Amino acid sequence: MITLLSARADVGDVPAADQLARLLANLGRVAELQARSDAGDRSASHRLVDLLAEHGDLANLAAEVHAGTPEAAHRLRALRQERRS
């Protein structure tokens, strides 16, 4: 399933990219989400940031901020505020 979705996403099939990102996130496959995010897959970026925030992974969220991943700075800030409370 992942191979098929990946092939479809790689040729610009947005629904396949969304489904693939959701599946990778549900399986906790952070490295694959990061690779897709780094390649410009917005669905993967969104799911990656959500997954990192859900796991409280400040270090990798900060790395995503430095990489320019959308929403990473907001989620990192919110997570830090939660931990201070």
Backbone angles phi, psi at 69, to 5 degrees: -70, 125
Q: How many domains does the chain have?
A: 1
Q: Identify the domain containing residue 7 by its residue range.
A: 2-84
Question: Residue 62: what pLDDT?
Answer: 97
| DSSP code for 9 | H
Is pLDDT above 90 for 8?
yes
Position 85 scores a pLDDT of 84
Residues 24-76 have pLDDT tens digits of: 999 999 999 999 999 999 999 999 999 999 999 999 999 999 999 989 999 99
Q: Supply the pTM of this predicted model.
A: 0.92
CA 58, CA 73: separation in Å to the nearest integer? 11
The confidence score (pLDDT) of residue 71 equals 93
